[in-house]
């Protein structure tokens, strides 16, 4: 998958990567995303499956364990790089917004 697709991570993508800072399996990721976002972001199982497959293909996450159809994943260094880039972008976006709103720009 081309890197451009991950230039701006969507909200579900961002939270899934955040959740995978610790080793998690499918349902745990869904619960963890809800917990991290304070119940604001929900990720359906189909969406989660598709995004995990994309992340794995791009080596942004790696499989750590498998039990039947249940798989555990964790974020890779490449994935963390994307996450940091996204956080930097969001911070810049927020500070630009604040400065403009406060009339400093």
Partner 1 sequence: MRRWCMKDFQLYELPAMEEYLKRMAQKGWMLEEIKGGSWFIFQKAEPQQLTFSAEIVGNMSILGADECDEALDYRAYCEQAGWRFVCANRLVQIFYAKAGEEPMAIETDEKLKFDSIWKQLRKVLLLQLPLCLLWGCYLFRKPISYTGFLENDSEWFSRIILLACLIFLLCGSVRVLRWYRKGRRSLKKGEKVSYYGERGARLYKLLDYGLLLAVIGGFLLMVFHDYALGRKGTALYNILYFLCYLGLLLPLCGWIRKRGFSKSAYTVTVILGAVIFTFAAAMLFMMLRPLNEEHAEPEIEEGQLLTLEALGIETENEPFIRQGKSIFGSMQEYWGSQSFEEGSCTLDVWYYRSKNSWLLGKIKEEYVEWNRKYDNGVHILRSVENSRDLDGIQISHLKETTFDVDGSILEEEELGYLLEKEGAFCYLSFSGKFELSEEEILRKAAEEL
The residues of the shown chain that bind partner 1, judged by CB under 8 A, are 10, 12, 26-27, 30, 42-51, 53-54, 68-71
Q: How far is the CB of 64 from partner 1 (least distance, A)?
A: 16
Q: How far is the CB of 103 from partner 1 (least distance, A)?
A: 28
Nearer to partner 1, 7 or 50 (CB): 50
Nearer to partner 1, 30 or 102 (CB): 30
Kind and range of the H or E run holding 72: strand 70-75
DSSP class of 70? E
Q: How many whole angstroms separate alpha carbon 104 and alpha carbon 63?
A: 47
Question: Which residues of 18-60 form beta strands (DSSP E)?
Answer: 24-25
């Amino acid at each position: 998958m081309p890197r451009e697709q991950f230039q701006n991570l969507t909200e579900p993508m961002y939270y899934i990567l955040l959740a995978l800072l610790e080793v998690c399996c499918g349902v745990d990721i869904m619960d963890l995303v809800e917990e991290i976002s304070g119940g604001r972001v929900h990720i359906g199982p189909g969406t989660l499956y598709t995004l995990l497959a994309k992340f794995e293909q791009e080596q942004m996450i790696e499989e750590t364990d498998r039990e039947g159809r249940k798989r555990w994943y964790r974020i890779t260094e490449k994935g963390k790089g994307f996450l940091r880039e996204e956080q930097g972008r969001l911070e810049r976006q927020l500070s630009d917004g604040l400065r403009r709103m406060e009339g400093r720009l």
